[in-house]
Structure 1
Amino acid sequence: MDKNTLLQVWPIPAFDDNYIWCIHDGSNALVVDPGDAEPTLEFLKANKLALKGILITHHHADHTGGILSLLEKLGSNIPVYGPVGDNIPGRTVVAMQDDKIEIASPRISLKIFEVPGHTLSHIAYFANMQANVVEPMLFCGDTLFASGCGRLFEGTPTQMSESLSKFAALPKNTLVYCTHEYTLSNIRFALAVEPNNHNLVAWAEQAKSLREQGVPTLPTTIGQELQVNPFMRCDQPEVIAMAKEVSGQVELPSPAHVLAVIRAWKDRF
């Protein structure tokens, strides 16, 4: 296999709405957040791919549940990358902010972002443009979703706001590979926050059509999320005004304060 063969990223559906992302060069593969081993094994076998590494964003079972079975069936020497602290089954490499992970096959260089909010130790993997990566790629677990963000199970609104700000600074053409097909429900809420957002209205129609065809709404892009995702738009006048209306607060002095209001609203929406 040519070491500069362009990488492909394919979704492996799991459970009701998870995607396990498979990054491969036609021969060798990485998988991101394999919560279920069975569909992962089936995909690798069907596409004649050798598993060379497992990338974990956070400790929740629907992201880690398949690790040990994959290692048992495919080789205990397969490296497992994951965040510090939490009990990640089989983890061999702890990945921390600004670490660079160089993987030989499939050839890819990944930068680590620590993005607390959904969980305290959540991380994301970013691949900038390189020999075999045409557009930047972000594997962000349950921090950023298409038109939404993860529930704050462990972190604070300020942490989530800072994490999303890290993503907002990435190139706008960065492909965003999150791990749940929550897009339609996220859009319904986003439209409640910004009913006059024309980009969001158009995206709602496009996403609905994709799902009716059984096609994933992912990946999205950072540029798109800056236009349609209320949690990435907490500095925008319409989002701020709606947050003030919903909360009854006269002043929301920072985007983190706005995010706190709309995340709490989303939780009961």
Structure 2
Amino acid sequence: LSRSTSEDRRPVRIRPPSPRAPQPRPAGRSLSCEPPPKPIIQRRTQSLPSPSERRRLSRRIGVRFVDSLGMDLENVKVFKRGEDPFVPEHVLFRLLMNAELAASKGLEISLPYLKPVFSDQPGDCSNFLERLCRQKVCLERVLCYEPGIIGIVQVLNLAFEKEVGVRYSFTSWKSCTETKAYWVANKQMEGLAGGYSCDSFRFHLPVPPFILHPGAVLEFAICYKVLDVQFWDNNGGQNYKLVCQSYNLPVPKEIEDSMIHFT
């Protein structure tokens, strides 16, 4: 028994593996983790035109002028015999001005403006506070300038919620337009019955250039809405009117020399 045990414990020799020749690598495969390099020169995509095709296509390219909506800016109008084309007044004015410049005449510019028919500003009248207490709304001042009309309105502060609007017309009330006045400030006025305060409102009436011709009339009236009631200021039933007039303004020589002359 002891002999067999000693034989079992005899060390066993382990033979190392014999060296092997390196295996050939398959063609086209790499053991590296990096991606295979790509060629710098690539083939042209089939959808792109060749240089010769580009030259051929460039001959067909045209130019179109369109607006922001993509519509053509060119508009052809065919006039019939005896039909006079409509030329805007501002275009005629520029043509006449250039004709006078070309003829070396003294240049005068005719400028239209709106003049109130009433002589004084309503707010400067002695009975303004009396009218304000009676009507609850009164036009205080009108300022005329080139883009339009600015008006200041005073109303009695009968309630917090209120609305002031202006109804105006250029066609003797055959048609009319309404615009809203905006609150400016609250102020106390001495002489008002009942201890009321006043609210100031401001409105703007745009005046289109084609309306400004001598003799044109602008009429307007003011409406004050408060407590489900409407109060009007229509200048005692006559409405507030402004008439378009013109005056000649001579152009200084230095400005005349700086203007472009057309022949």
TM-score, normalising length from structure 2? Answer: 0.22
Structure with higher Rg: it is: 2
Q: State the structure with bigger RCO (CA 8 A, min sep 6), 1 or 2.
A: 2
Higher helix proportion: 1
Q: 1 or 2, which has the higher strand percentage?
A: 2
TM value normalised by structure 1: 0.22
